[in-house]
Amino acid sequence: MPSKNVIVGSAVGLHARPAALIAQAAVEAGVPVTIAVPGGTPVDAGSAMMIMTLGAKAGAEVVVESEDEAVLAKIADLVEQDLDS
């Protein structure tokens, strides 16, 4: 499955608001998307709760995966943004 390593851009990491925005975009995309910390178990990017279980802080590297390259790029871009500003 295509993947992209990205750095978490939100100052609070992948916590409530950023996780909710990412999950909403993943659900709206309508295709499976996962997020994981390197070497960790991928979680469903369509679930804010699952994203928050990663414990990814600002500046942490995460891996985004999706069969759909456009969706992959969109979700990866969201992870890199500061969604709390």
Catalytic residue (one of 6, 9, 13, 15): 15
Is residue 30 part of the annotated active site? The answer reads no
First to last CA, the chain: 32
Alpha helices in the chain (DSSP H): 16-29, 48-52, 69-80
- Contact yes or no for 74/64 (Cβ under 8 A): no
Report the catalytic residues.
15
